[in-house]
Amino acid sequence: MHEQHNHHMTHQSNHEHHHGNHGSHSHQHHHEHMIADFKKRFYISLILALPIILLSAMIQSFFNYSLSFAGDHWVELILASIIFFYGGWPFLTGAVDELKQKSPGMMTLIGFAITVAYVYSAATVFGLEGHDLFWELATLIAIMLLGHWVEMRSVSKASDSMEALVELMPQEATKIDKEGNTKVISVSELKKGDYVLIKPGEKIPADGIIIDGKSSVDESMLTGESVPVEKQIKDEAIGGSINTSGSLTIEVSKTSEEGYLSQVVQLVKEAQESKSKTQKLSDRAAKLLFYVAVAAGILTFIIWISLGYGMEEAMTRMVTVLVISCPHALGLAIPLVVARSTYLSAQNGLFIRNRASFEDARKINTVVFDKTGTLTKGKFAVTDIIPSGNTTEKELLQKAASMESQSEHPIAAGIVASAKQQNINLITPEEFDSITGAGVKAKLENARLLAVSPGYMNKNDIPYDQDTFNKLSNAGKTVIFILEEEQFIGMIALADQIKDSSKEAVRRLHELGIEAQMLTGDNQTVANNVAKEIGIDNVIAEVLPDQKADQIKQLQADKKRTAMTGDGINDSPALATADLGVAVGAGTDVAMETADIVLVNSNPVDVVSIIELSRLTYRKMIQNLWWAAGYNIIAIPLAAGILAPWGIILDPAVGAVLMSLSTIIVAFNARLLKSK
């Protein structure tokens, strides 16, 4: 309940973080330990409270039964002492923490009320005139522990992102020694200047320079660029990217500590640490209530004494005021809505990792989407088939797909998938080879065929329809040229497919009055075309990974409350910087770990659901706070005895029942929260 309490909890966890890498494990472990601790304290306090309630004279007169034996007061005192010191311990230490920070709130109020009630009640056992308040004390502590336990459980799913990032790096590398022998070693043993062999399909273990071999490398996890990058001798290789086709030998230029991935880790860490902590509303209310309650309690005591009543009456009035104003309902107003909204969001495939950011999502006015994998499927599909001469569309696609069926490239996969959709039978090539950086060549039914890039066409001066090519290229499409016996027979254009749900997501954001932007590493033309089709308001393209976070900061500087949605590691710093970071579930673990919310289904429409649910949740919280605070506004003067001249005095028991009633109303109202 709230921030102070969480400060209190995080004191211990903070120094764990400063001791090397086990920090995240211990932090997680620490949090689970806290939840288990509150649960245990709650159940023990509840069991011990039952006999106290049964033995209470006030409850007996209320329900009209009698139960007493010699020394029953001592039994109550012993049980109440255990509840006070064991069950009340988190509140007492929390109160001390709040007072140290000169910021009294919920904890201080609970701590103060239970201390006064305990000390006064214990004094009655030792002979002070008056009625004990043991049962109020016991129920107060039990209900408060329940509130904290419920809240902590719903907030508990937070773990540390750093491990997930580091796990993307391969653990082993194949090192080549001077004699050319290979040996598998741990990546941590790699030094600058070592030669490493990377086979097809393996992850590159460290940043380095390619000294032998050619291949295409999938860097999409790191850069967000959807097309694999062709690499040859002297090119750089980034640790963590995946070698897809050929074998490579690299010379290590940076160890894992200095590499690109660890720089991303650092960026994420900084952005996470710079997040503001939203001071909870109920905490502010509790702080205000603390001053009101203490002032009202002391004032009540003074007035009753000065009116000539005895110590017992004045003390009972004061404790009644403190007990009654102790915000049971206020204590549960927020956690119950939190628990409910966490449950609803999980049902809808939204996994909330950072509550404060989720609660603030209602203020978002700009949503920034990463393109590849978020708005698009990250898979290529054929968009245009343009045959030349007397080749038909079907023949052209058949020849291209037959050649490409032997290749691992995503563009090849797109062409093959398109042929299969049209039920075109593929011919098995008699020969097949890839032309590095240019395409593939094959022999089909004794004819020599090539599928090549525009670069190859220009370099070899092969004529083709420039206008059509420019039109396709300007539309952001990737164009492949097909040659048969050195003759140009047509071109095939492909593009990354847009998710069906992307348009709906943007339309619904516009309905909510929210601007949609796109931030991508892809080229401007491709980005503009995707944006036009979906209805995006603004495009920021050709952004390098480490600049994404800067772009978000720029938007924030323009007073835009920004949500960032992405799926790659390259999006992690931006996710951590944005007011709300949303990771798309099909993405990497890291993006998920740095995000405030993870979408289990990679559906952009879910971003809209987050904002809607956040708005609904906030409305429920405010309703509950009004209920809870409203109860106190009425109950405090009654408890103080404002209507005493007319013979209306609020009995502590009636006060406690009213208190329970207001708690039940708040709980019921929280249950009414439904997602659209």
> Who contacts 172 (Cβ-Cβ below 8 Å, separation ≥6)?
184, 185, 186, 187, 205
In a domain, 394, yes or no: yes
112-116, 258-262, 317-321, 635-639: which has the minimum mean pLDDT?
258-262
* Owning domain of residue 149: 3-156+275-344+615-671
Does 321 score more than 70 pLDDT? yes
The 3-class SS string of 160-227 reads CHHHHHHHCCCCEEEEECCCCCEEEEEHHHCCCCCEEEECCCCECCCCEEEEECCEEEECHHHHCCCC
Q: Per the domain annotation, does 164 fall within a domain? A: no
Domain assignment present for residue 163? The answer is no
Residues 429 and 303 in one domain: no
Q: Model confidence over 465-517: pLDDT tens digits?
A: 889 998 888 877 889 999 998 889 999 998 888 888 888 999 999 999 999 99
If one compares 201 and 103, the residue with the highest pLDDT of the two is 201
31 shares its domain with 142: yes
Looking at the 3D structure of the chain, how many domains does it have? 3
The last residue of one of the domains, among 255, 288, 303, is 255
More confident residue, 645 or 203: 203
Name which residue leads in pLDDT, 326 or 295. Answer: 295
pLDDT of 96: 92
What's the pLDDT at 158?
32
Of the listed ranges 37-41, 97-101, 165-169, the one predicted with least confidence: 165-169
Which of helix, strand or coil describes residue 570?
helix
492/480 Cα distance (integer angstroms): 5
Which CATH number does the domain housing residue 425 bear?
Answer: 3.40.1110.10
Reply yes or no on whether the pLDDT at 315 is more than 60. Answer: yes
CA distance 187 to 184: 9
d(CA 348, CA 27): 28
Contact 246, 215 (CB under 8 A): yes
Same domain, 294 and 238: no
Residue 145 confidence (pLDDT): 83
Radius of gyration of the chain (CA): 34
Using the predicted structure, report yes or no on whether residue 646 has a pLDDT greater than 70: yes
What's the gap between Cα 200 and its chain centre? 34
Give the per-residue pLDDT at 507.
Answer: 93
Residue 172: what are its φ and ψ, rounded to 5°?
-125, 160
DSSP 298-350: HHHHHHHHHTT--HHHHHHHHHHHHHHHS-HHHHHHHHHHHHHHHHHHHHTTE
Which tokens hold the place of 295?
């002032």
Residue 370 bears catalytic tag: yes
Predicted local confidence at residue 21, as pLDDT: 41
Q: What is the CATH number of the domain that holds 182?
A: 2.70.150.10
Secondary structure of 607-640 in HEC code, one letter for each residue: HHHHHHHHHHHHHHHHHHHHHHHHHHHHHHHHHH
Confidence of residue 390 (pLDDT cuts 50, 70, 90): confident
Residue-level pLDDT at 272: 43
Q: What is the pLDDT of residue 665?
A: 79
Kindly state whether residues 234 and 136 are assigned to the same domain.
no
Half-sphere exposure of 65 (CA within 13 A, CB side): 7
pLDDT at 9: 35
pLDDT on residue 246: 82
Residue 134 CA to residue 117 CA, distance in Å, equals: 7
Which of these three, 497, 531, 547, is where a domain ends? 497
535: in domain: no
Maximum CA extent, the chain: 116
Angle between the N-to-C axes of helices 524-534 and 500-511, in degrees from 0 to 180, rounded to the nearest 10? 70
Q: Are residues 51 and 125 in the same domain?
A: yes
pLDDT at 568: 63
499/520 Cα distance (integer angstroms): 16
Burial class (CB in 10 A: 0-12, 13-18, 19+), 156: middle
Bridge partners, residue 450, by sequence: 441, 483
> In this structure, are 111 and 17 located in the same domain?
yes
Instruction: Taking residues 140-164, report their average pLDDT.
Output: 60
Confidence check: pLDDT of 666 > 60 = yes
- Give the per-residue pLDDT at 367: 92
> pTM of the prediction?
0.59
The 8 Å CB, 24+ separation contacts for 433-437 are 434/245, 434/407, 436/214, 436/230, 436/232, 436/246, 437/214, 437/230, 437/232
**514 occurs within a structural domain:** no
- Residue 413, pLDDT > 60, answer yes
Could you give the CA distance from residue 128 to residue 73 in angstroms, rounded to a whole number? 13
At 348-373, the pLDDT tens digits run 767 777 777 887 888 899 998 887 77
My answer on whether 59 and 121 are in the same domain is yes
In a domain, 15, yes or no: yes
* Lowest mean per-residue pLDDT among 126-130, 238-242, 505-509: 126-130
Nearest to 312 by CA among 561, 437, 474, 129: 129
pLDDT digits (tens, 9 = 90+) for 181-200: 888 888 878 888 999 998 88
Cβ neighbours of residue 100 under 8 Å, at least 6 residues apart? Answer: none
* 62 and 145 together in one domain: yes
Residue 570 lies in a domain: no
pLDDT band of 656, cuts 50, 70, 90: low
Q: How confident is the model at residue 47 (pLDDT cuts 50, 70, 90)?
A: very high
Asked if the model's pLDDT at residue 262 lies above 70, the reply is: no
pLDDT at position 219, please?
74
323 and 423 in one domain?
Answer: no
On whether the CB atoms of residues 382 and 597 are closer than 8 A, the answer is: no
**Are 22 and 115 part of one and the same domain?**
yes
**54 belongs to a structural domain:** yes
- Domain co-membership, 300 together with 418: no
> Starting from the edge strand earliest in sequence, which strands make up the sheet with 478-484, in order?
376-387, 487-498, 478-484, 447-452, 439-444, 431-435
Please identify which residue in the block is written with the tokens 């590691």.
569
What percent of the chain clears pLDDT 90, i.e. is strictly above it? 11
Q: How far from 17 is each of 27, 157, 273, CA to CA, in Å?
A: 7, 18, 12
Q: Which H or E element spans position 243?
A: strand 242-243
Q: Are residues 83 and 132 in the same domain?
A: yes
End residue of a domain, out of 442, 472, 497: 497
DSSP H helical segments within 422-561, as ranges? Answer: 454-459, 466-474, 500-511, 524-534, 545-557
Q: Judge whether residue 316 has pLDDT over 90.
A: no
The dihedral region occupied by 580, where left means phi > 0, alpha psi between -120 and 50, and beta the remainder, is beta
Contact 367, 514 (CB under 8 A): yes
Question: Which position has the higher pLDDT, 550 or 343?
Answer: 550
Q: Which of 160, 218, 360, 370 is catalytic?
A: 370
Q: Does the pLDDT at position 167 exceed 70?
A: no
What's the helix, strand, coil split of the chain in %, to 5? 55, 15, 25
